[in-house]
Structure 1
Amino acid sequence: MPMVSDNIRGALLMIGAMCAFTLNDAFMKSLADEIPLFQAIFIRGLGAIVFLVFMCKLLGQLRFTFPARDWGLVILRTMGEIGGTYFFLTALFNMPIANVSAILQVLPLSVALAAALFLREPLGWRRLSAIIVGFCGVLLIIQPGGADFSAYSLYALGAVACVTLRDIAVRRMSRSVPSVFVALVAAVGVTGLGGVGSLFVEWQPFTALSGLQLVGATGFLIFGYIASVSAMRFGDIAFVAPFRYTSLLVALVLGVLVFGEWPNALALTGGVIVVATGLFTLYRETKLRIRTRMVPDRIR
């Protein structure tokens, strides 16, 4: 039986991560009417830290002897995780889950653009045009100045910027840095954000239902952390990133079935445009990769 390629392995991990993160989002959104945001982040984070420390010890990944360059990238990724969590959950608590998820579908485009700018990965005019069109699709989702415009859409865009930073940092890390350890450091950073923020809000008691919802959010968050870090370290970034679109499908289903939410026609159109342009970047990257393999090596 042929071995699974790095690209396929990365794609499967990305699909699993996106499903897990979206289910985590649904549980967190369900808590919005009962538990303050920072309290929920803090309690959820404690559970994630305990589990990830256990996993690090079990796998022998709880070590700190990394080069300064890798430590800098781990910290940079954690900063992106902290910012992304705050901006995203703030938007999620105040907007339909499908709308927030649709805005985040621009991530493959923003990551491809950032990879070209900072990692010097090739980016032709066709893919650059697709990125521009994709951002126009985001404007249809946000609808600035329209009756359905929400200022919290800007928080969702802030989350896009932070997660782009996070993913680029992961790509620069050496493979000697364990994925679970990276996830643990991120969990510590996000939990610290929740701890500081919870000092300024009035804590609310958990009911049996809200407690179960928080447990569910924690479990899916843990899996999402590990799978997302691993996904970005396998295969080509342009191949793996578009599989983030799984989260939009899951968010649409959860929005309708759980929250009774349905995006308007413009938002749906914008989501389709963003997904289509992202898939086009995947097509172009695959075509260019095949063409590169067909060109014989030059004599050096």
Structure 2
Amino acid sequence: MPHHVLPREDRTAMGLTAMAGAVVFFTMIDTSAKWLVLAGLPALQVVFVRYAVHFLLALAVFVPREGREALVSMAPGKQILRSAFLLGSTALNFNALYYLPITVTTTIMFAGPIVVTLLAIPLLGERVGMHRIIAVCVGFVGVLVVMQPWGAEFHPAMFLNLGALVCASLYFLMTRLLAGVESNATSQTWSSGLATVCIAPFALSSWVWPQAPADWVFFALIGIFGGTGHILATWAHRMADASILAPVVYIQIVLAAVSGIIFFSQWPTLWTLAGGLIIIAAGFYIWQRERILGKRAAADKAANIAPH
């Protein structure tokens, strides 16, 4: 039985607000990372700072309340794998951000639910019908529209972004496997702590201090953005069903566009916007199918346990 797994609450409005806040912080993680790597800081150092501060924040939030149990995992092997996928996704994405606009990296990452649907077939043994398979194919057409492998706008760094997408999808699958097994505290401390320990030798050996005042601001805040965003997202999923929260993530395309314009004077291209709409449409379709199938499964279960 998991320790300190807090009960679910039915507070949808609070959950949606928390998830929207988390998406804002996720956008600011990418904004900070792009700013810092463009300022000359090594990408691995930026990843280290993002996770080290996240780890300290997780310890400060959870250890006083839960004590040593916040650090004890019921499934350490799966936690290590989950943490490795999250670290891989962040490292690849931060490297890609050096070369690509935030709108491009964000839009490609929107294909996460599509990749999760595909990977869940062999890894979780889930059955996926023809409707969702078609939606997956449409979603990947959207990714191709964003990447434009046939045109001058294509950049090889997009392959880094695709790697980040696969790692992030595997991270979400591992999170699904650990749901109800691990507490939020354990998942937060392990994912941030393991990343910090693994990257420290590489980051510290080639350390570069920020120079400009703005660089220091992003340097100081990136870890806070990361820790707060993940804690808010997990809290949101305790307040409302994942099926209700899922579409909130798509507001990030607007936030990424605004961030790109304000901080980097980069406007989203029509290709990025068109591909993003295709990916979002496919994601919405998959989301809607999963809601319908989930309700149908719940109804069948209720019918089977009802007295006859």
Give TM-score scaled by structure 2 length: 0.84
The residue type paired with residue 132 of structure 1 is: C
**1:7-46 superposed matches below 5 A:** 12-34=17-39, 35-46=41-52
Is residue 144 of structure 1 aligned with residue 149 of structure 2?
yes
CA distance 1:292–1:81, change in 2 (3 Å): closer
Deviations 1:204-228 (A, max 9, x none): 4444322211222121111122234
Tell me which of 114, 121, 127 is aligned to 2:119: 114
Report SS of the residue matched to 1:31.
helix
**What is the aligned length?**
296
Are the counterparts in 2 of residues 182 and 229 from structure 1 also a CA contact under 8 Å? no
User: What CA distance in whole angstroms lies between the structure 1 residues aligned with 2:244 and 2:205?
Assistant: 43
* Residue 178 (structure 1) shift: 2.0
Instruction: Give 1:56's aligned residue.
Output: 62
CA distance 1:187–1:33, change in 2 (3 Å): same
User: What CA distance in whole angstroms lies between the structure 2 residues aligned with 1:176 and 1:18?
Assistant: 25
User: What CA distance in whole angstroms lies between the structure 2 residues aligned with 1:150 and 1:291?
Assistant: 44
Report SS of the residue matched to 2:38.
coil
Tell me which of 218, 227, 230 is aligned to 1:225: 230
User: What CA distance in whole angstroms lies between the structure 1 residues aligned with 2:221 and 2:20?
Assistant: 19
Gaps spanning 5+ residues in structure 2: where? 1-7
CA distance 1:131–1:193, change in 2 (3 Å): same
The residue type paired with residue 99 of structure 2 is: N
Deviates more, 1:27-36 or 1:123-132: 27-36
User: What CA distance in whole angstroms lies between the structure 1 residues aligned with 2:190 and 2:72?
Assistant: 14
Deviations 1:43-63 (A, max 9, x none): 333322222212221221542
Give TM-score scaled by structure 1 length: 0.86
Instruction: Give 2:5's aligned residue.
Output: none
Identity score, percent: 27
* Residue 137 (structure 1) shift: 0.6
Gaps spanning 5+ residues in structure 1: where? none
The residue type paired with residue 50 of structure 1 is: L
* Residue 261 (structure 1) shift: 1.0
Instruction: Give 1:249's aligned residue.
Output: 254
* Residue 9 (structure 1) shift: 6.7
Deviations 1:81-110 (A, max 9, x none): 110011110111211000000000001111
CA RMSD of aligned residues (A): 2.8
Are the counterparts in 2 of residues 112 and 237 from structure 1 also a CA contact under 8 Å? no
User: What CA distance in whole angstroms lies between the structure 1 residues aligned with 2:73 and 2:207?
Assistant: 40
Are the counterparts in 1 of residues 250 and 280 from structure 2 also a CA contact under 8 Å? yes
The residue type paired with residue 136 of structure 1 is: V
Instruction: Give 1:277's aligned residue.
Output: 282
Instruction: Give 2:4's aligned residue.
Output: none
Instruction: Give 2:53's aligned residue.
Output: 47
Are the counterparts in 2 of residues 108 and 241 from structure 1 also a CA contact under 8 Å? no
**1:94-173 superposed matches below 5 A:** 94-173=99-178
The residue type paired with residue 42 of structure 1 is: F
The residue type paired with residue 156 of structure 1 is: N
Is residue 210 of structure 1 aligned with residue 215 of structure 2?
yes
* Residue 235 (structure 1) shift: 6.5
* Residue 4 (structure 1) shift: 5.7
Deviations 1:208-251 (A, max 9, x none): 32221122212111112223445567776555444321222210
Are the counterparts in 1 of residues 72 and 186 from structure 2 also a CA contact under 8 Å? no
CA distance 1:239–1:113, change in 2 (3 Å): farther
